[in-house]
Amino acid sequence: MTEQKRKLEKLAGVKGMNDVLPQDAGLWEFFESTVKSMLRSYGYQNIRTPIVEHTQLFTRGIGEVTDIVEKEMYSFTDALNGENLTLRPENTAAVVRSAIEHNLLYDGPKRLWYVGPMFRHERPQRGRYRQFHQVGIEALGFAGPDADAEIILMCQRLWDDLGLTGIRLELNSLGLAHERAAHRVELIAYLEQYKDTLDEDAKRRLYTNPLRVLDTKNPALQEIAQNAPKLIDFLGEESRAHFDGLQRILKANNIPFTINPRLVRGLDYYNLTVFEWITDKLGAQGTVAAGGRYDPLIEQLGGKPTGACGWAMGVERILELLKEEDLVPEDEGCDVYVVHQGEAARERAFVIAERLRDTGLDVILHCSADGQSASFKSQMKRADASGAAFAVILGEDEIANGTAGVKALRAGAHQDGKGEQQTVPVEDLTEFLIGAMVATAEDGED
């Protein structure tokens, strides 16, 4: 291949790492606006952590024998200083690291939220990508079941705000460390009876992370997993009281749930409460949000022992649900599209467009695609395609007379549908358009 041909090759994005195109951006913005409004209503503050962290943060925090650390992380050695670094596969460990490093809890508990891309080397499929986006919350410094209940209620409020239905809640308790240790002994002894039946994944986990065997998706192992010793039966008085307290608050708020003794989550830092919100509308990728309590993590990463809980939800999966339930909001377009013909009209168009934007209107000013002045007919096609409510038209006659043409482009922007062009003095243009926009909004409410 010659050097010239090599330069002309089309370059594609990395597999499993997708572009968000303009036609999809409105749905992302709708979701982000809705979730941010919900988070504000609960007093959560935004935190932003780097995409790249030291690999040790995740091996220590998530657990060395988890699937994420063993098989899915994008890790590399910095060529300049030899540091082992990783693209974050999740963000809880990073938020906790930041809280410890900056002593965020010195004056009391913190409610924090984040949004951004995460990276895992998985097999791409619907709702599951190698670069994916999460919204998550971390309630740091809270030890009681009331915090667990609040973060679950937040999810239900978000589903309601988005209009999503059919998302069910599953709960479990992983208890405390000594309870898990006692259960682990019996679980390993039980699974050893079926060594010849276990698949390779289960055999690999048998002595390193036997809890994860219970989460197997292999149909041949379902009966074995179903009959295994249940961690919930090993809970002591303190763990049961915490779990019972959570359930009482959820019932008082009419939040239906199912206790799933096999729900274990894939990260080592969880204890006590774990939960998942699940849908049947996305095929294999049914979990749209998940989380729980992770009291050991802050001390594990070098901080003082502190209670903590949180959740994360996959943005792409929720957007798929919104599409599935036909809840995608219509693109409202801009308010005004300014078309113009001639050099003097173009200069005046820039001035008028800026004045209209000063009032808060959204304005698109026509710019030529090829450096040549387009015809009014061509420009009006662009104006109509933009979704604008009104077109402002400037030509030689309008410049000579100190006026502008205004034409309603949408049925909702005029009583009789698309309106005839009206002539408006330039000094009255802003007031005229604002009045027309207000009238359009009132007609929409009626």
Q: What count of other Cβ atoms lies within 10 Å of the Cβ of residue 142?
A: 20
Instruction: Tell me the pairing of strands 287-293 and 271-278.
Output: antiparallel
Whether the predicted pLDDT of 417 surpasses 50: no
Mean pLDDT of 259-278: 86
Give residue 141's pLDDT band: very low, low, confident or very high (50, 70, 90): very high
Average pLDDT for residues 241-269, to the nearest whole number? 90
pLDDT tens per residue across span 79-97: 999 999 999 999 999 999 9
Which pLDDT does position 2 carry in this prediction? 58
Provide mean pLDDT across the span 292-306: 92
| Helices 315-324, 22-41: inter-axial angle, 10-degree rounding | 110
Per-residue pLDDT tens over the stretch 381-401: 999 988 899 999 999 999 999
Percent helix, strand, coil in the chain, to 5, is 45, 20, 35
Residues 352 and 293 in one domain: no
- Residue, of 331 and 227, whose pLDDT is higher: 227
Asked whether residue 320 falls in the same domain as residue 342, the answer is: no
Which helix (H) or strand (E) segment is 41 a member of?
helix 22-41
Task: Grade residue 266 by pLDDT with cuts at 50, 70 and 90.
Answer: low
Stated pTM of the model: 0.86
Q: What is the CATH number for 397?
A: 3.40.50.800
Domain of residue 389: give its range: 336-435
Looking at residues 102-126, what average pLDDT do you find?
91
Give the bridge partners for 86, in sequence order.
53, 75
Query: How much is the average pLDDT of 179-194?
Result: 88
In-domain check, residue 184: no
Contact by Cβ (8 Å): 93, 297? yes
Is residue 90 in a domain?
yes
Whether residue 391 is found in the same domain as residue 430: yes
Whether the per-residue pLDDT at 370 is higher than 70: the answer is no
pLDDT at 443: 62
Q: Is residue 99 pLDDT above 80, yes or no? A: yes
Same domain, 379 and 417: yes
Assess whether 117 and 252 both reside in one domain: yes
pLDDT at position 4 over 70: no
What average pLDDT does the structure give for the chain? 88
Distance of CA 361 to the CA centre of its chain: 29
Write down the pLDDT at residue 144: 93
With a CB cutoff of 8 Å and minimum separation 6, the contacts of 394 are 338, 339, 340, 341, 345, 348, 349, 352, 404, 405
pLDDT digits (tens, 9 = 90+) for 214-237: 777 788 888 888 888 888 899 999
Please list, residue by residue across 71-105, b when 16 or more beta carbons sit within 10 angstroms of its beta carbon and e when fewer do: eebeeeeeeeeeeebbbbbbbbbbbbbbbbeeebb
Domain boundary (299, 324, 349) is at: 324
Query: Is the model more confident about 218 or about 114?
Result: 114
- Summarize the confidence of residues 416-422 as an average pLDDT: 67
Which tokens belong to 15? Answer: 């597999």
What pLDDT band is residue 196 in, cutting at 50, 70 and 90?
confident
**313-327 tens-digit pLDDT:** 999 999 999 999 999
| DSSP characters over 198-259 | S-HHHHHHTTT-GGGGGG---GGGHHHHHTSPPGGGG--HHHHHHHHHHHHHHHHTT---EE
- Give the pLDDT of residue 241: 96
Residues 313 and 277 in one domain: yes
Do 309 and 344 sit in the same domain of this protein? no
Lowest mean pLDDT among 27-31, 65-69, 201-205, 307-311: 65-69
Based on the domain organization, do 420 and 344 belong to the same domain? yes
- Which of 302, 324, 346 terminates a domain? The answer is 324
Residue 266 lies in a domain: yes
Nearest CA to 89 among 112, 114, 122? 122
- Nearest Cα to Cα of residue 105 among 305, 294, 312, 291: 305
294 and 163: one domain? yes
- pLDDT exceeds 90 at position 151: yes
* In a domain? residue 16: no
Alpha-carbon distances of 275 from 62, 174, 217, 229, 252, rounded to whole Å: 17, 10, 18, 20, 18
- The confidence score (pLDDT) of residue 442 equals 64
| pLDDT tens digits, one per residue of 29-76 | 999 999 999 999 999 999 999 999 999 998 887 776 667 777 788 899
Residue 240 falls inside a structural domain? yes
**pLDDT at 7 > cutoff 70:** no
In a domain, 440, yes or no: no
418 pLDDT exceeds 80?
A: no
- Specify whether the CB–CB gap between 62 and 79 falls below 8 A: no
| Selection from 78, 96, 194, 299 nearest residue 202 by Cα | 194
254 Ramachandran zone, left/alpha/beta (phi>0; psi -120 to 50):
left
* pLDDT for residue 212: 79
Residues 89 and 132 in one domain: yes
Q: How many domains does the chain have?
A: 2
CA–CA dist 310, 111 (Å, integer): 9
Count CB atoms within 10 A of the CB of residue 442.
9
Residue 6 lies in a domain: no
pLDDT: is 110 or 369 the higher one? 110
Tell me, what CATH number does 152's domain have? 3.30.930.10
Could you tell me if 36 and 143 lie in one domain? yes
Residues 313 and 421 in one domain: no
Q: Is the pLDDT of residue 110 over 90?
A: yes
- For the ranges 56-70, 157-171, 241-255, 288-302, which has the lowest average pLDDT? 56-70
Of these ranges, 59-68, 197-206, 251-260, 412-421, the one predicted with the greatest mean pLDDT is 251-260
More confident residue, 329 or 46: 46
Q: Where among 324, 344, 364 does a domain terminate?
A: 324
Residue 263: what pLDDT? 87
Largest distance between two CA atoms of the chain: 94
Q: How far apart are CA 38 and CA 110, in angstroms?
A: 17
Q: According to the model, what pLDDT value does residue 415 have?
A: 41
d(CA 175, CA 184): 12
Which pLDDT score is estimated for 223? 85
Domain annotation covers residue 150: yes
